[in-house]
Amino acid sequence: MKLPYSGETLANPEGKICPVLDTTRVDFSTAVLGLKKTETLVRRAKGGEVIITRNKAGKIETRYTAKPGDAIFVNLHDEKDTYCPGNPDNTRWQFDDFLTNGYEITAGSLAYGTVKVRSTVISKILPEAVSEDVCIKDAWGPGEHQYLYKGATLKLSESGRVIGIDKSAFDDTWEVLTPAAKPVNPSPSRRNP
């Protein structure tokens, strides 16, 4: 799949210049449906925690300083894989109401500020659509970019926002619910003798 770019470039945290993905033109017509299959730990931010989302190779995808009450998600397959999901208005999900975004509690209590959850949201995804290091500019708000690396999956959220999922995180935590559409090759015609 050839991805659309805006013509801009930005340097990722390692200093590599990356093309900026034009998320308004990503074609999801061949997308498959996927669901995050693993539990995630969610905790209430005290405020001031620096949340650095890293992939399994240690490369930085995003960096954010949490505000009091933000919902901090920790992927249990790799506890260094933390993030604070964002809203279309560039605010972050709040711990006290993140369940309205399609999660159910599997363990813990909201009253204690830490729970394990499972997602119930089925999303359109483009597995391994990213073929080179790219940037989603302002993914989480002005100046809050998401850097994706080769093999990353693109996800179309219910709000219409396109975000990325690192390949290792996708492989460890997601499942594809529908197979990818494959082109149909017509079979050669058969002649009856």
- Residue 36 in domain: yes
Contacts of 161 (CB under 8 A, 6+ apart): 23, 86, 88, 139
Asked whether the predicted pLDDT for residue 189 surpasses 80, the reply is no
Predicted TM-score (pTM) of this structure: 0.82
- Does residue 87 fall inside a structural domain? yes
Distance between CA atoms of residues 183 and 171, nearest Å: 24
- Asked if the structure places residue 181 within a domain, the reply is no
Per the structure, the count of domains in the chain is 1
Residue 180's pLDDT band, with cuts at 50, 70 and 90, is: low
pLDDT computed for residue 184 by the predictor: 39
Would residue 84 count as lying in a domain?
Answer: yes
Does a structural domain hold residue 192?
Answer: no
Q: Which domain holds residue 92?
A: 5-176
Average confidence (pLDDT) over 124-153: 94
pLDDT digits (tens, 9 = 90+) for 14-53: 899 999 999 999 999 999 999 999 999 999 999 999 999 8
HSE toward the beta carbon, residue 6, CA cutoff 13 A: 15
Q: For residue 36, give the nearest of 114, 117, 94, 147 by alpha carbon.
A: 117
pLDDT tier at 181 (50, 70, 90 boundaries)? low
- 147-163 mean pLDDT: 93
